[in-house]
Amino acid sequence: MKKRFFGLPKNIFFLGIASFFNDFSSEMVYSIFPAFFTSVLNSGAASLGVVEGIAEAAANLFKAYSGNLSDRTQKRKSFVVWGYTLSTFTRPFYILTSTVVGVAGLRFFDRIGKGMRDAPRDAIISLSTKPEELGRSFGYHRAMDVLGAIFGPLTAYLILSYYPLKFNIVFITAFVIGLLSLATLVFVVDIKNHIHPSKFGIIKSFKQHSTKFKFFLLSIFILSMGGIPIAILLLKVESIGLAIALIPLFYMIYNLSFSGFSIFAGAVTDKMGARKTLMIGYLVLILGYLVLVYSSSTYLLVIGFFVLGIFSAFTDGVLRVLASQLSSEELRGGALGLVSASNGLGILIAGIGGGFLWQYFNPATALVTASLVVAFGMFVFSLTLINGTHKGSW
C-alpha cells in the first residue's frame, strides 16, 4: 500500500470517501423517518420504535459475527461491498411501500448491511495503516462519517422545504448518492494477514470471561434498554407544533454536537479513564431526557438534541475500549461480539418499550422511565469495580 492520496494510504482515503457518501445517503433517509411514519404511514412512536429496535438489534447482532467470518475467509472487501450494496439498494424501495411491515423489512436489510460491513471495513483500515498512523486513519474515517451525517439531514431538509411531503424525492436522491459510495469501493483492495481468529465462538467465549466482564455485559444491556432511539425522540419536534420539514435539522444539530465533542470526549477518556467517561456520558443522557421533558419551545428543543449529541460523543467507542480492557487478548474478538450482542438486545427493548410508552402514555412517561432504567444500569455498571480483578487503569 505504497500509493498515498493526500498523505493517506489508498485504502484509507477511498474507504473514507465511500463512508461519506454512504452516511450522506443513509442519514437522509433516517432523518425523515419520524415525518414519514406520521404523515405517510399514519403510524406513531410505537411502530417506529419496533422498526428501529429490530433494525438496530439486527445490525449489532450481525456485527458480532461478521468480523470473525471475514477473518476466517480473509476476504474482507467482499463483506464491505455486499454490506454497502444491501443498504444502498433498500432505499428506492421505500417508494413502493406504504405499510409499517414493508418499511420494517427494508430497514432490517439496511441494518444487516451495516452489520455485515463495519467490522471487516475496520479490519481493512487497521491492516492498511502503519501502527503509528492508526489514530490518524480512524480519525479521518470518522470525520468523513460525520460530514455525511451532517450533509444528509441538511439535504433532506432542503428537499422537504421546497417540496413538502415529497419523500420520494429524498429516497431517490439518497439512492443515487449511495451508488457513488459503491463506485468508490472499486479502488479499495483486500488486505490479508496470517493471524488466526480465536478458536472460541462468541457464545462459547462467554464462559471464559471474568465475573467483572459478565457484570459489564449486564450493565451494557440495561443501559442500552434506557437508550430510546433518536428517531423516536425526533417526534418531539412535531409534538410541540413545529413543521415536520424541520425534523432533519434537529437531527443535524444532534450530529453536529456528536462530532464536535468527540475529540474532547477522547481527551477526557485518556485523562480520566473509559469507566468515568462512560458514567459521564450516561449522566448527560439523563440530562438530555429531562430537557426534552420540559421542552415546549424551539430553543429548549435545540438544547435537548445538542445535549444528546454530547452523550453519544462520550459513549460511542468507549464500550469497545472497556471490552478490550476487561478481556484477554485471545478472547478479544468474542468479547467485542458479546458487547455488540448485549447492546443490540437492549436497543431492541428500548425501541419497543420506549415507542409504546411515548405513543400510548406520553413522551414524558417514556423519557422519565428511560432515565430510571439508565440510572439502574449505571448502578450495575459500578458493580464491575468490585467483581473480579483487573490489572491496569480503566
At 389 the pLDDT is: 41
Q: Using one digit for the tens of pLDDT, what is the confidence trace for 140-186?
A: 888 899 899 999 999 999 999 999 999 999 999 999 999 999 999 99
What is the pLDDT, as a whole number, of residue 330?
Answer: 59
**Residue pair 295/364 in contact by the 8 Å Cβ criterion:** no
Residues 131, 78, 69, 108: is their CA dihedral positive or negative? positive
3-state secondary structure of 4: strand
Model pLDDT, residue 123: 81
CB contact set of 356 (below 8 Å; sequence gap of 6+): 45, 46, 49
Range with the poorest average pLDDT among 104-118, 148-162, 252-266 = 252-266
The confidence score (pLDDT) of residue 60 equals 87
> What percent of the chain stands above pLDDT 90?
64
Domains and CATH numbers, the chain: 11-185 (1.20.1250.20), 198-394 (1.20.1250.20)
Q: How far is the C-alpha of 179 from the C-alpha of 157, rounded, in Å? A: 21
- The residue ranking higher by pLDDT, 263 or 184, is 184
The mean of the pLDDT values for the chain is: 88
Sign of CA dihedral 132, 135, 140, 141: positive
pLDDT of residue 146: 85
Task: Give yes or no for residue 102 having a pLDDT over 70.
Answer: yes
- pTM, whole model, 2 decimals? 0.90
pLDDT in tens, 325-374: 777 655 666 677 788 889 999 999 999 999 999 999 999 999 999 999 99
Q: How far apart are CA 252 and CA 250, in angstroms?
A: 5
Q: Name the residue with cell 439512492.
A: 175
Q: Which of 8-12, 103-107, 352-356, 382-386 has the lowest mean pLDDT?
A: 382-386
Cβ-count burial of 184 within 10 angstroms (0-12 exposed, 13-18 middle, 19+ buried)? buried
Would you state the torsion angle of the CA atoms of residues 38, 43, 47, 51, taken in this order, to the nearest 10 degrees? Answer: -50
> What value does the mean pLDDT take over residues 124-145?
80
- Are 295 and 253 in contact by the 8 Å Cβ rule? The answer is no
- Pick from 57-66, 72-81, 152-161, 202-211 the range whose average pLDDT is largest: 152-161
**How far does Cα 345 stand from its chain's mean position?**
14
SS3 of residue 9 by DSSP: strand
pLDDT number for residue 259 = 87
Evaluate if residue 23 carries a pLDDT over 70.
Answer: yes
Q: Is the pLDDT of residue 323 over 90?
A: no
Q: Which amino acid belongs to residue 3?
A: K
Looking at residue 200, its pLDDT comes to 53
The pLDDT of residue 92? 96
Q: Is the pLDDT of residue 199 over 60?
A: no
Q: What is the DSSP letter of 5?
A: E
pLDDT at 387 over 60: no
Between 76 and 35, the more confident residue is 35
pLDDT at 191: 80
Q: Using CA atoms, how far apart are residues 86 and 111, in angstroms rounded to an integer? A: 9
